[in-house]
Amino acid sequence: MKRGGNSGTGARVAASKGMSFSKSPVLAVSLPTWRSRVVLFVLFAAFVALGVRAMWLQGVKHDFLVVQGKSRYERTIELPATRGKIMDRNGQVLASSLPVKAVWAIPDDVLESSPDKLRQLAKLLEMSEAELRKKLDSDRTFVYLKRQVEMDVIDKIAALHIDGLDTRPEYKRFYPQGEVMTHLVGFTNVEDKGQESMELAQQATLVGATGSRRVIKDRLGRIVEDVGLSQDPHDGKDLTLSVDSKLQYIAFENVKAAVEKFKAKAGAAVVLDVHTGEVLALANWPTYNPNDRRVLTGDQLRNRVMTDTFEPGSTLKPFTVALALDTHRVRPGTVYQTAPGYLVIGDRTVHDSHPKDLLTVAQIIQKSSNVGMAKIALPMPAQEMWEMFTKSGFGQQPKFGFPGAVAGRVRPYKAWRPIEQANMAFGQGISVSLLQLARSYMIFARDGDVIPLSFQKVAEAPAGQRVISPQTAREMRVMLESVVSPEGTASQAQVAGYRVGGKTGTAQKLVNGHYSHTKYVANFVGIAPMSNPRFVIAVMIDEPGTVAHTGGSVAAPTFAALATSALRAANVQPDSPIVDIIIPEHPVEESM
């Protein structure tokens, strides 16, 4: 009470002295007045700056900030289009797309999971735990762990409930016929882009157009809202090939068996439809499984029917003879002296493997005489031979609509020396692919014209281009049928119940610029049946490793096995009463 009284007394005393309470010395400010004004001004300026900044951001920079904000939470999800199916001529599926998913992760979040879950995840993704952790050891906020994971595995991964792990839909290509059809169909990569064969050639048709969907995602990448702005995907178009799955399997199995039987480096075969130019079968060995390409090699990838060139050897002889017949220089019965089995041209000599005496033009084809061919060819202008070869498709860039097809080589006729002209008459000094060689024999099977080849099913036969007269083509078919008789070089090409014809070829391979005496390419091109040609079948066996290495002993029997099954599979009526095939103990072999 006393203290309180004193305070009140002091205030009254101060007031009695004429001093107000607010000017009490106790409350007096010791700082200069200008400093408080500066502080007040700074605070005011700061508020003005914040106001101006707010107006700038919400007015001038509004659109930019909206975009930046959306980029933090809005995402555009790609909606993949289904790639078109590839089917054979009868509607059997050769390639289709299956729904799968890609597994991706936010590394920091996934690494917070328990070691046991990471071990299980690595096992499901078919990788080691160390490999998984290496993928997750990244500064990026998004990494793919594995692409094209099948749906049953995705379900097991989802059951682990690992934070920061998500998937996106995609498609995986599946090839039901595997290695049998792969050199025709090809394959796609992980991005669903064609890499080989028809998958590559028809990429634009098959691929379709992807769609999109706009969504809002949370920090863990989970979709929390669908914005609603979307574009539907447009699936690719289906593709129907010309190939017949039955004939393809027959060709594949026979090529594989021949390579194994004759211990060869490789083999190939092609079957053409004489009436439409459709490629009914195209087989190679070695090959690969497009569904599992982990150990794929270059030799397996090579489509030898299209990309490998070789000297055709004696299979080219019918074209020079056809030219001589068509220009009325010779007749099938015109006789040539081939004794003593060799012919000197300049400083070179042409040899026959088995010397003969007098031979008609027809017998020169049947016995495959190099000397006889040289004598037929040398009187003809080089330009005419060159034009015959080019009209037949040799040395020309193929227009098959198939990637990797090569042109081969035919040297300009102005540079031919007499020995070179003679060599080309029997298939040396010129290179062709097996498909080019098969197509050229359409001239004889189709009464003298040639038509484009197609790897897609055609609705109607294309128009042909005349190369030789129908009469010449018929005369050539008679000669080619004689080659397959017991007296010809291709007696092992006979087919029970069917008349067939063709020509053998054996070419020495060039090694370091010189013809090898141990490495050969054996080939045979045949027509079946001869009464009403339906198929042209060409077979090539590369580097047979057995004593038998010629076209007549290696490629001809492969043709016979293939043609027998193909004719029956296509329900072609037999045209010959002969069912007992006679093969001589010592067959005639063509000259090389």
**Which whole number is the average pLDDT over 376-405?**
92
Give residue 55's pLDDT.
81
Domain, as residue range, for 220: 76-238
Answer yes or no: do 319 and 374 share one domain.
Answer: yes
CA distance 418 to 427: 14
pLDDT at 168 over 60: yes
Judge whether 237 and 225 are in contact, CB under 8 Å: no
Helix, strand, or coil (residue 537): strand
| In-domain check, residue 432 | yes
Choice among 68-82, 276-290, 293-307 with the minimum mean pLDDT? 68-82
Give residue 27's pLDDT.
60
Answer yes or no: do 88 and 222 share one domain.
Answer: yes
**Which whole number is the average pLDDT over 226-241?**
79
- Where residue 163 sits, what CATH number does that domain have? 3.90.1310.10
Give residue 224's pLDDT.
57
Burial class of residue 590, CB neighbours in 10 A (0-12, 13-18, 19+)? buried
In which band, very low, low, confident or very high, does the pLDDT at 583 lie, cut at 50, 70 and 90? confident
Answer yes or no: do 489 and 341 share one domain.
Answer: yes
Choice among 44-53, 146-155, 175-184 with the minimum mean pLDDT? 44-53
Answer yes or no: do 328 and 411 share one domain.
Answer: yes
| In-domain check, residue 62 | no
Answer yes or no: do 304 and 155 share one domain.
Answer: no
Tally Cβ neighbours within 10 Å of residue 105.
25
Answer yes or no: do 275 and 206 share one domain.
Answer: no
**Which whole number is the average pLDDT over 576-587?**
75
Exposed e or buried b per residue across 453-468, where buried means at least 16 C-beta atoms within 10 angstroms of its C-beta:
bbbbbbeeeeebeebb
- Where residue 257 sits, what CATH number does that domain have? 3.40.710.10
For the ranges 3-17, 185-199, 249-263, the maximum mean pLDDT occurs at 249-263
Give residue 356's pLDDT.
87
pLDDT at 265 over 80: yes
| In-domain check, residue 140 | yes
Answer yes or no: do 269 and 181 share one domain.
Answer: no
Q: What is the mean pLDDT of the chain?
A: 87
Alpha-carbon distances of 589 from 214, 355, 540, 556, rounded to whole Å: 72, 11, 17, 11
Answer yes or no: do 478 and 415 share one domain.
Answer: yes
Answer yes or no: do 318 and 185 share one domain.
Answer: no
Comparing 366 with 113, the larger pLDDT belongs to 366
| In-domain check, residue 107 | yes
Alpha-carbon distances of 89 from 244, 562, 569, rounded to whole Å: 6, 20, 15
Q: How far apart are the first and last CA of the chain?
A: 141
pLDDT at 203 over 90: yes
Comparing 166 with 321, the larger pLDDT belongs to 321
Segment 461-484, tens digit of pLDDT: 899 999 999 999 999 999 999 999
Give residue 167's pLDDT.
87
368 catalytic? Reply is: no
Nearest CA-CA partner of 398 in 461, 453, 458, 463 = 453
Give residue 2's pLDDT.
46
Choice among 39-48, 50-59, 162-171 with the minimum mean pLDDT? 50-59
Give residue 1's pLDDT.
42
Answer yes or no: do 222 and 297 share one domain.
Answer: no
pLDDT at 68 over 70: no
pLDDT at 50 over 80: yes
Q: What percent of the chain has pLDDT over 90?
A: 60
Segment 480-491, tens digit of pLDDT: 999 999 999 999
Helix, strand, or coil (residue 315): helix
Answer yes or no: do 477 and 429 share one domain.
Answer: yes
In which band, very low, low, confident or very high, does the pLDDT at 294 lie, cut at 50, 70 and 90? confident
In which band, very low, low, confident or very high, does the pLDDT at 40 lie, cut at 50, 70 and 90? confident
ω into 286 cis (within 30 of 0)? yes
| In-domain check, residue 588 | no
Comparing 326 with 47, the larger pLDDT belongs to 326
CA torsion sign, 183 to 186 to 189 to 193?
positive
Give the residue from 201, 219, 238 where a domain finishes. Answer: 238
Answer yes or no: do 331 and 197 share one domain.
Answer: no
| In-domain check, residue 276 | yes
Choice among 23-37, 45-59, 165-179, 475-489 with the minimum mean pLDDT? 23-37
Give the residue from 203, 238, 273 where a domain finishes. Answer: 238
For the chain, the domain total comes to 2
Length of the chain as a residue count: 592
| In-domain check, residue 171 | yes
| In-domain check, residue 119 | yes
Instruction: Pick the catalytic residue from 97, 245, 314, 482.
Output: 314
Tally Cβ neighbours within 10 Å of residue 522.
30
Judge whether 467 and 449 are in contact, CB under 8 Å: yes
pLDDT at 590 over 60: yes
Element (H, E) at 272: strand 266-273
Alpha-carbon distances of 241 from 72, 74, 278, 279, 464, rounded to whole Å: 48, 43, 9, 9, 21
